[in-house]
Amino acid sequence: MKKLESSLLNMVLVLTAISLIAGGTLAYINKVTQGPIAEINAKNLQDGIKKVILGSQPGDLKVEEPVEANGYTLYKTDKGTAVKAVTNGFGGPLEILVGFNEDGNILGYTILATVETPGLGVKADTWFQEGGKGNIIGRNPGEKELAVSKDGGDIDAITVRQLGIEKGLSNNYVVSIAQDKEGFLWFATEEGLNKFDGTRFLTYYKNEIRNGYGITGNELNCLLDDPKDSILWIGTQRAGLNAYDYVNDTFTFYRHNEAAPESIITDDVTNIVAADDGNLWVTTYWKGIEYFDKETGHFSHYNTATVPGLASDNIWTVADGGNGKLYIGHVHHGFSILSIKDKKVRNFVHDPNNRNSLPGNEVRCVYKDMNHNIWVGTNKGLALFNPESENFIQFHYPEAPGIDHIF
């Protein structure tokens, strides 16, 4: 306990020092960028006012000083008034500017700022324009309240309530979710891959060919957006590893080949995890762990044949410790720590007589946090691994009177 208290004290001191340094750095960056950002925002606002008042018509506007009223900001001009408001969108706040003529009719609107998923942001900026499904141009909120159809009104609102098969999703059994660097969401299912642009789903199936190749299987297990490259990695249940280059719209696949020892050892992939050096760790249900070198396209095998001390070849997941150690979650055989360089391994299993042991032997997830703590998710609760004592601090739902959460 003294060792734990000492570690926690050191952690607090280090975090305090980091916070002070980071705070000073951020303050300096904020000071340097404050002016340019303010100029950009001011220009965007001026352009927005012209857009919502004049539309595509040429001309200039005389804009008076802004007035705050009832949570809105009013910009009165010689040809109408622009009103700025902030409302909530699907992904966060939407900053909207709406133009009115002197009679209170809507002239136009624009989105000044949004954090929406691509597609939703674009949709919000066009949906209510003239010609759009929810057209509000020319409407007068003072004469008739603007209400969406679900609330008894006559405006077709942007809604995303249930995203199932009927909305374009290939299958309702969703097993993994990832977001790419362009902001699009990807969903792996038991029957196909799905890309969601905020408005609709684009599906990818086994027999659909794109630029000569396509996904090799419809039954998927996991997704990973590559931390460095514009690649979505796709793990299948029985059809190997797929790589989708979403910038160039091309697929590459990696399948087991008996004649090629450097190929992936099995086609049944359970998880894909970024390695500390930028490559990948690929876990499998039957054949252990694969280290994938993205440059050579070769796989190195870590299993009971190459690592004699490893508890089993049935692996759910891993986490790269960044310290030369790989933390491994087994399907039925607990938790292991592998020293990658010398292939020495320590195995840990649940001991019913030791409350500092692993809570359960099925380890579905392992995570290294920003403080380099190792969290282990099992079928019998959560654990924080202490590398100094090689014990586990358990967190679990109390199953019997007198048993509380442990820290």
| Per-residue pLDDT, 165 | 63
CA angle, 124 as apex, 121 and 130 as ends, to 5°?
Answer: 140
**Which position has the token pair 């309702």?**
172
Q: Listing from the earlier edge strand, what are the strands of the sheet with 269-274?
A: 269-274, 280-284, 289-293, 298-302
For the chain, residues classed under CATH 2.130.10.10 are 165-395
Measured distance CA(201)–CA(387) in Å, rounded: 44
| Per-residue pLDDT, 12 | 47
| Per-residue pLDDT, 1 | 45
| Per-residue pLDDT, 403 | 42
Closest Cα partner for 50 from 27, 90, 79, 13? 79
**HEC sequence for 336-375:** EEEECCCCEEEEECCCCCCCCCCCCCCEEEEEECCCCCEE
Cα dihedral across residues 87, 89, 95, 101: positive or negative: negative
| Per-residue pLDDT, 207 | 75
Mean pLDDT for all residues in the chain: 84
Nearest-10 Cα torsion for 293, 295, 298, 300: -20
Cα dihedral across residues 174, 179, 185, 188: positive or negative: negative
285 close to 331: Cβ distance less than 8 angstroms? yes
| Per-residue pLDDT, 110 | 87
Distances (CA, A) of 229 to 166, 185, 241: 33, 16, 16
| Per-residue pLDDT, 161 | 46
Other Cβ atoms within 10 Å of 354 Cβ, number: 10
Taking only the tens place, the pLDDT of each residue in 19-67 is: 555 555 545 545 555 666 677 778 888 888 888 888 878 888 888 999 8
**pLDDT under 70: residue ranges of the chain:** 1-37, 88-92, 114-125, 127, 133, 148-153, 155-167, 209-212, 399-407
Cα dihedral across residues 251, 256, 259, 261: positive or negative: positive
Topology (CATH level 3) of domain 165-395: Methylamine Dehydrogenase; Chain H (2.130.10)
Measured distance CA(337)–CA(261) in Å, rounded: 25
